[in-house]
Structure 1
Amino acid sequence: MTTCNPLQVQAFNTADVAEQVRATPGWVQHYQQMSPGHFAGQIRYLDLQGVEVYEEQMNTRVEQNFSAPQGALAFCFDRSDNALYLLNEDSRNIWITPENYQEIAVVFGPEFVRQQGLDLAKLEGLFMTQLKGGQNALFSRWLSSILTKLSQPIDSKEKDALTRQLLEDCLFILDNARIGLDHGELQRRTEERTLMKRIGEWAADSPEETLNLLELSQVAGVSLRQLRQAFKAYTGMTPSQWLRLRRLNSAHRELLKCTPTQTTVAEVAMNWSFWHLGRFSNSYRSLFKELPSETLKRSPMA
């Protein structure tokens, strides 16, 4: 007799990038807010026991530094530009999303990947590459509708059929999206991705360390010109802007962790190399829509 196992789509509304990270289990990632406003996000998540479908929405620009779960293969559909991005555990990179970002992804877990005999080595060169295809938008809308409609119990045969369909559909869409790839452009993007991967690994491994522009180019192992080109392609901003926003996010995290009896706004500002308190407060308020003193007062520790 086949038993019915209710599959529950879980939904989380978040008010901070750190909450957004905690709502996506299994991923190694670090988020930083990169545009002004009170952050608001949402995660919808469905676990098919070996295959996961999740949908993410965020209202501000966010820098994501991440890698997929070990041994997994992820098909991520960026609904802002209808592109497919293929990810695995080695796809550590800096990714800055636009405002009002929406993404939906299918993540095939390591056991499922092994059972299906998928050879990830054959996909080398495609990871973190923008893959355009006519079916991308249609498929991502269908995935979103699955999360909306799937609210009643589903038995094991139906679940297995759905996971097989997801795999077949994702591989089919990948084959269509890789047709017509410009290999010269792919090589250039691969070199830029390698450069940004070095920076991403440094940022993930040293989240509280600060560097100047020259030191950052040394981390990347390239000239300042190459550094600026890669940042423009991947983030849409200069490396100097990125470093400044990184320091503002670090100050934000410190203010949230401390109480007014433990520190002052001036001390936190100087910890992150903001020597002009008025300019720091203005920049902070522009990004987070509140004064640093207000953040300190509303700390959970306060």
Structure 2
Amino acid sequence: MGQFLLVDSRKLDGFEGLHQAVHGSHVDVTQLGRGRLRGSLSHVGIGDFSLSIGTFNVGMRTQRVSSDDKLIIGMLLAAEERVAHWSFDMQLNDVLVIPPLLEHDGVFHGASAYAAMRFDLGEVTSLFGGEARLSDPDTWRSRGHYRADRATGAIATHRLVGVMSHLRAHKDGLTPSTAEYWKRAIVECMAINVMSSLPPDDSGWLPSARRLIRRVEEHLDEADMRPVHVSEICAATGVSRRTLHRAFHEVFGVGPVTFLRQKRLCAVHSILRASAPGLTTIAAVAMGQGFYELGRFSQYYFAMFGEHPSQTLGGGTGFCQIPEPSGRAPSRS
């Protein structure tokens, strides 16, 4: 069988585990919710086709760059709070289409679960055979959002989770002779929700805010690991703090100062986690990300990840999040 067939399941012990949220595709992740991240990630691989199912207990921001040449079709399995992909506001069992070589971003405001298929665009003709529209590769070349029927959507989700649970418990059941069956069983669950839905919902409700956020994030990308102050962003984008604040609240539910601090905390966490004790210091890493008041930094860090920086540096687990503690003044570090 070699690499042709794969069934893999693991517990998540930090937001970094979600970099592989879609099997075979790297995803950039920023933790938004507070607390120790708990969750699981399971993959089924059948040749170049894969199904990934992930669960997590805190809010997350996910981004994927445009280097992936595979088609990704995802479905929202569970959500305690709002979930948005691009400008699409997702409901339970909705299906999302991410075409090849297209950048993607999503925001999960709370605990959620998702499923994502990834495969070659050329496979749709055979995988969706019998459905003229779905078997046409052109159908999948544009990003899309399909609103699931409430009744059939729940059934499709139940079936999809059942397939994954079965294959996890019976790995030997995924053999070359049964692989095609399981692949089609997985695809059918997604297809049911697409076929029963309305046409793709292209009327995103946050386009202007998201365009501004995109410009901000392009500036942050150019800055790389360098910390960026909110005033620098205002200057670079040519907008006032009030406009920037409104856009961030509309998209993320928090202001830009809080969001930027969370990004810097996540950068510190990742650097500490990848470092060996004795080769770096917490103070150096924190200050390198713009945290000058180390006492306040430590408070933010513990509130965010549920552990002290020294525990992360020593090999502990952690994560990343958002909302500001009630009554606490915004940090100007």
Query: Which TM class, normalised by the smaller chain length?
Result: 0.7 to 0.9
Of 255, 258, 262, 2:272 maps to 255
Distance 1:124-1:232 versus aligned 2 partners, 3 A rule: farther
Shift of 1:286: 0.5
Question: What's the counterpart of residue 124 of structure 1?
Answer: 142
Deviations 1:76-108 (A, max 9, x none): 324214133222345434433244321122223
**C-alpha displacement at 1:169, in angstroms?**
4.8
Q: CA deviation at 1:240?
A: 1.8
* Partner SS for 2:254: coil
Alpha-carbon distance change, 57 to 166 in structure 1, aligned in 2, over 3 angstroms: closer
Q: Structure 2 CA distance, aligned partners of 1:195 and 1:130?
A: 25
Distance 1:296 1:107 in 2: 35
State the SS of the aligned residue for 2:196. Answer: helix
One-letter code aligned to 1:34: L
Structure 1 residue corresponding to 2:60, chosen from 59, 62, 71? 62
Pick aligned residue for 1:44 from 42, 45, 64 = 42
Bigger mean CA offset, 244-253 vs 110-119: 110-119
TM-score, normalising length: structure 2: 0.72
In 2, Cα distance between the equivalents of 1:157 and 1:262? 51
Q: 1:286 to 1:122 in 2, by over 3 A?
A: closer
Q: CA deviation at 1:171?
A: 3.8
Matched with 1:142 is 159
Are positions 1:95 and 2:113 aligned together? no
Answer with 31-40 or 283-292: which moved more: 31-40
2:74 — aligned with what? 75
Question: Secondary structure, in 3 states, of the residue corresponding to 2:296?
Answer: helix
Q: Distance in 1 between matches of 2:124 and 2:213?
A: 27
**1:14–1:41 contact (8 Å) kept in structure 2:** yes
Deviations 1:19-42 (A, max 9, x none): 332464421321222233222331
Q: As a proportion of its length, which structure holds more helix? A: 1
Kept in 2: contact 1:11–1:42 (CA 8 A)? yes
SS at match of 1:177: coil
**Aligned CA distance change for structure 1 residues 291 and 146 (closer, same or farther; 3 Å):** same
- Secondary structure of residue in 2 paired with 1:104: strand
Deviation by residue 1:165-205 (Cα, 9 ceiling, x = unmatched): 54455344224333494x6xx15444444444444555566
Q: Which residue of the partner structure matches residue 198 of structure 2?
A: 178
Q: CA deviation at 1:244?
A: 0.7
Counterpart AA for 2:116: A
Q: TM-score by structure 1 length?
A: 0.78
Aligned residues: 292
Match for 1:291: what amino acid?
H
Alignment of 1:223-242 (within 5 A): 224-242=241-259
The answer to whether the 8 A contact 1:93-1:197 is kept is: no
Q: Give the root-mean-square deviation of aligned CA atoms.
A: 3.5
Contact 1:79–1:140 (CA<8 Å) still a contact in 2?
A: no
Conserved? CA contact 2:149–2:193, under 8 Å: yes
Q: 1:122 to 1:60 in 2, by over 3 A?
A: closer
Task: Read off the aligned partner of 1:72 and give its amino acid letter.
Answer: L
Give the AA of the match of 2:27.
Answer: Q
Stretches of structure 1 lacking an aligned partner (at least 5 in a row): none
- Percent of aligned pairs sharing the same letter: 19
